């Protein structure tokens, strides 16, 4: 299968190094299962795709509007332009009706056999950050409304570490919050 994991995590942010390692570990695990797996993420102001054939920058996000335009239009142009994907794994970020409409349109018209899975690491996540601005609260409410009403139309499954059988009316894939141990050195032998 040809898969792509899409995230808005900025791998250039040192605070997110743990999340970045986890995302790369997920792609590595998908590849070990025999899938051709690509990864799309943000690094600084660039949107980067790491594929089996190399790494390339596909867009530059200089301001909020360019981010909005890419994730609502440019992303789908990119997905339609190359070799077709059998599956999209989207690491949850704030959803809105236009983004879900574009996903539905992509799944229905461009790639009818494509499965779209939404990864929601923690659920429920309403108002996770207590220091949210009023704009963050509005985005959070739009995300909640959008997924409550539209998730079951767009997503094939929801991947979660939570123990729910269904989220937003969509069947879940329950997994552990694992890590890749390949980068961990074994402890030195002890002297007797």
Handedness of CA 73, 75, 81, 85 (dihedral sign): negative
Q: Which of 160, 123, 119 is nearest to 7 (CA)?
A: 119
Question: Which residues face 56 on adjacent strands?
Answer: 49
Q: Which of 104, 109, 119, 118 is nearest to 72 (CA)?
A: 104
Q: How many residues does the chain have?
A: 192
From residue 16, alpha-carbon distances to 4, 33, 50, 132, 134 in Å are: 20, 26, 18, 18, 24
What is the average pLDDT across 100-128? 83
**Where does the pLDDT of residue 40 fall: very low under 50, low under 70, confident under 90, or very high at 90 and above?**
very high
Residue 141 pLDDT exceeds 90: no
Residue 127 pLDDT exceeds 60: no
pTM score, two decimals?
0.82
Domains of the chain: 1-91 (3.40.50), 95-110+121-179 (no CATH)
pLDDT of residue 192: 65
Angle ∠(92,96,100) on CA atoms, nearest 5: 80
Residue 166 pLDDT exceeds 80: yes
* Sole residue written with tokens 């791998």: 11
**Where does the pLDDT of residue 96 fall: very low under 50, low under 70, confident under 90, or very high at 90 and above?**
confident
């Amino acid at each position: 299968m040809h898969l792509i994991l899409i995230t808005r995590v900025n791998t250039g942010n040192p605070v997110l190094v743990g999340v970045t390692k986890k995302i790369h570990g997920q792609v590595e695990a998908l590849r070990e299962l025999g899938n051709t797996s690509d990864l799309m993420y943000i690094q600084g102001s660039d949107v980067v795709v790491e594929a089996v054939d190399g790494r390339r920058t596909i867009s530059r996000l200089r301001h909020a509007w360019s981010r909005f335009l890419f994730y609502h239009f440019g992303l789908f142009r990119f997905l339609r332009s190359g070799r077709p994907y059998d599956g999209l794994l989207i690491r949850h970020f704030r959803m809105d009706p236009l983004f879900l409409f574009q996903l539905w349109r992509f799944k229905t018209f461009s790639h009818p056999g494509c499965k779209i899975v939404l990864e929601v690491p923690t659920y429920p996540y309403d108002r996770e950050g207590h220091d949210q601005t009023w704009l963050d609260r509005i985005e959070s409410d739009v995300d909640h409304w959008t997924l409550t009403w539209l998730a079951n139309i767009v997503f094939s499954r929801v991947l979660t570490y939570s123990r729910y059988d269904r989220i937003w009316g969509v069947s879940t894939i329950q997994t552990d919050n694992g890590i890749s141990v390949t980068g961990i050195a074994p402890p030195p032998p002890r002297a007797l």
